[in-house]
Amino acid sequence: MTIAGVDLPIAPSGSDPVPLVFWVPADSALAMQAQLAQLLMAQPGSSSGGGAYNPPFSNTHGPKDAWQLPPWKGDERDAAKWILDSVADNQRRVLAYIVSAGTDGVWTIDLRQRAGYDSSKSMSGVFKAIGGRFRRVGLRPLWNGGPKEPHKGQLLNVRDDNAQRLFASLLRSHYPELATEFNIV
């Protein structure tokens, strides 16, 4: 048994969003939600934030320490591209800079400046937002934290060769201006 309802105080028109409420048996709720999400994403004009790939998890998926999620194997192009496509421009610049720094790393103060963030902006919120994208695809963030210094922040680097190569390849092919700016060859 499925019951559907629409309760609107004002008549919608055109492409106005309309809330729909469905009551379904509990044991079929998740399957129904997944089917509706697929239908909605297939609609013209829908914005899935990265093409046909739809991440399987929420932005809070996994253990408290996101680095305990599975490592990248190097063949997860759709997931990596979804991450690059779904983050904000400045966040993509942060990822590009981290990828370009590789194992040598980059200080968070330099990341903040190069990515265009104001000096008053806390980078913890930026990394939480980016990290949520990695949680959505079920794989660990590509950066690792290193030492901290008062006037430099924290040194971040990429120690995972598979993740570094994958993100570098995608930045070169889909964001060539960033690849050039950050010397990702």
Domain architecture of the chain: domains with CATH? 3-41 (no CATH), 66-181 (1.10.10)
Per-residue pLDDT band at 23 (split at 50, 70, 90): confident
* Percentages (nearest 5) of helix, strand, coil residues in the chain: 45, 10, 45
Distance CA 39, CA 75 (A): 27
What residues does 21 pair with on adjacent strands? 5
| Stated length of the chain | 185
- Which residue bears the tokens 């990596």? 80
CB 157 within 8 Å of CB 101: yes
The confidence score (pLDDT) of residue 17 equals 61
* Two tokens, residue 179: 């690849």
Per-residue pLDDT band at 49 (split at 50, 70, 90): very low
pLDDT in tens, 73-108: 999 999 999 999 999 999 999 999 999 999 999 999
Strands 106-107, 153-157: pairing is antiparallel
pLDDT in tens, 119-144: 887 888 899 999 999 999 999 999 99
Neighbours of 152 (CB within 10 A): 13
156 vs 1, 83, 98, 110, 153, CA distance in Å?
Answer: 53, 19, 7, 11, 9
What is the 8-class DSSP label of residue 102?
Answer: T
The confidence score (pLDDT) of residue 102 equals 94
